[in-house]
Structure formats: C-alpha cells, structure tokens
Structure 1
Amino acid sequence: MTPSPPPPPVIRPLWVALGFVLTGLGFVGLILPGLPGTVWFVLAAGAFARGNPKWEAWLLSRPVVGGLVRDFREGRGMPLRAKWLACTCIALAVAWSLTRIPVLAGQVAWVLVALAGILYITLWIPTRRP
C-alpha cells in the first residue's frame, strides 16, 4: 500500500489541532466508563501523522497510549482482560443510563447500540493472549 501524499501546508495545523482534540477525548475515555479511549488515540495518531509526524511520535511514546495505538496498527488486538473490562463497562453504562431515556424506542435503540459495541469487541477485535 502506498502512503498518501502529504496534505498542503495550510491544512497541516488543522490536522494537528484535530489530533489534540482527539487526544483529549482519548484521555477522557481512559477515565470514563462507556467512552472508549483507544479509538480516539488511534484517530489522533492518524491526524498527527498527517499534520506533523513529531506529534505522532510524541503520542506513540506515551507509556500506555503508545502501546494501544501500536497494537491496533499491527493488528495484535486486545488482551482478554481488556475485552472483559470494555464489555462490562459498556453494559454498566447502558444499564445505568437506560432509566434516563423516557421513550421505549430510545431505550431499545440504546441497548442495540451497546450490543453492537459488545459484538464488535468480542467478534472482530482479535484476542491477544499472553
């Protein structure tokens, strides 16, 4: 696969700004259950790669974050414990917030979104064994 050409110099600062926003969302996702942090970090690394490779290298050098992004890029998947934790957090977040949705159709849609996330994690993301 050939790498895409670099964006015009005028757009690069926008990619870097987007990378910082996505990195912030990633850190919030590490703290809050129900918000996946890894997805945001992977997107941030992609944005930084288009804007300024120095910031991509900075993100990849972070102790926890860098490993998550590298594992995703190399197709290694998630450890089994992380999969259990992610699925449990999704289930707990949905169960906690379900009573706050007043319409039955909204509740059903919310449960379906949660089930789709759990199915994605369990079926499509490879399990990395120690």
Structure 2
Amino acid sequence: MSIGKGGYRVIAYLSVGLAIAGAVLPLLPSTVFILIAAWAAGRSSPEFEAWLLNHRRFGPVIANWRHRQVVPRSAKVLACAMLCVSWATVYVVGAPAWMLVLLGAFFCALGGYLLSRPSC
C-alpha cells in the first residue's frame, strides 16, 4: 500500500508542526518529529526537504542522524527525563497497573534504544 506524495507531504508538515509544538511543550520530542518530517519530505517534496536540511536548527540533527545515526547528548538527556516525567504523571493520575507496566516496558525499551545510539 502506498500513501503517495500527498500523504507523505501531510506527514512531513504535521511532523514539523509537532516538532515546533515540542519546543514549547515538554512532553513532545522535537527531534523525533524532525527526523520523521525529513524522511517524509524526502519522499514528497525535494524543496521542503532542502529547507529542512538547510535550516540552522534542524539541518545538523537530520544530517547527524542520516550519516551516522547520531543523537545529540542533550536530546538523549531531555528525552529520558521526559519519559520519566510522563510515566510519573500517568502514575499520579491513577492509571491501572497493567498500563503502568506496559508504559514502563515501552519507555525502558525506547530509552535503551536511544541511549544505545552514538552521541555527538
């Protein structure tokens, strides 16, 4: 199944919007959404992909990931901290035990993968 250029373009623009929101809202990971945006833009809009690659903030993050799968140390620290804050928030609001266990396992796996990537 192919979503076509229009679908990829929508994903790219939505991801940039979420990344911008993530710069303000502490529970949204900006870096992940920028990488998704670059991936989708590469399949739909060479102009938008070029804009992302030449952006002073986004460009280096995308280039580091594409060439060496490197994640900035500050992004790792912030992401792991936000995973902990997110889990604690779910705990405080009284989520059922099964949800806490599933989220905890998912967050640990996500954090483990993130920490296993090289840093820059």
Instruction: State if a TM-score over 0.5 links the two structures.
Output: yes
Runs of 4+ in 1 over 3 A off after TM superposition: none
Between Structure 1 and Structure 2, which shows a larger proportion of helix residues?
2
**Residue 31 of structure 2 is aligned to residue 38 of structure 1:** yes
| Residues in 1 aligned to 2:95 and 2:48: alpha-carbon distance in whole angstroms | 43
**Number of paired residues?**
117
One-letter code aligned to 1:112: A
Q: CA deviation at 1:93?
A: 2.0
Structure 2 runs not aligned, ≥5 long: none
| Residues in 1 aligned to 2:104 and 2:7: alpha-carbon distance in whole angstroms | 35
How big is the alpha-carbon RMSD for the aligned residues of Structure 1 and Structure 2?
Answer: 1.8
In structure 1, the partner of 2:99 is: 106
Counterpart of 2:8 (choices 12, 15, 20) is 15
| Residues in 2 aligned to 1:31 and 1:65: alpha-carbon distance in whole angstroms | 16
Q: Find the residue that maps to 1:77 and give its secondary structure.
A: coil
Counterpart of 2:82 (choices 85, 89, 92) is 89
TM-score for the superposition, normalised by structure 2: 0.83
Q: CA deviation at 1:76?
A: 5.1
**Residue 115 of structure 2 is aligned to residue 127 of structure 1:** no
Identity of aligned residues (%): 27
| Residues in 1 aligned to 2:89 and 2:95: alpha-carbon distance in whole angstroms | 13
Structure 1 runs not aligned, ≥5 long: 1-10
| Residues in 2 aligned to 1:21 and 1:13: alpha-carbon distance in whole angstroms | 12
One-letter code aligned to 1:127: S
TM-score for the superposition, normalised by structure 1: 0.77
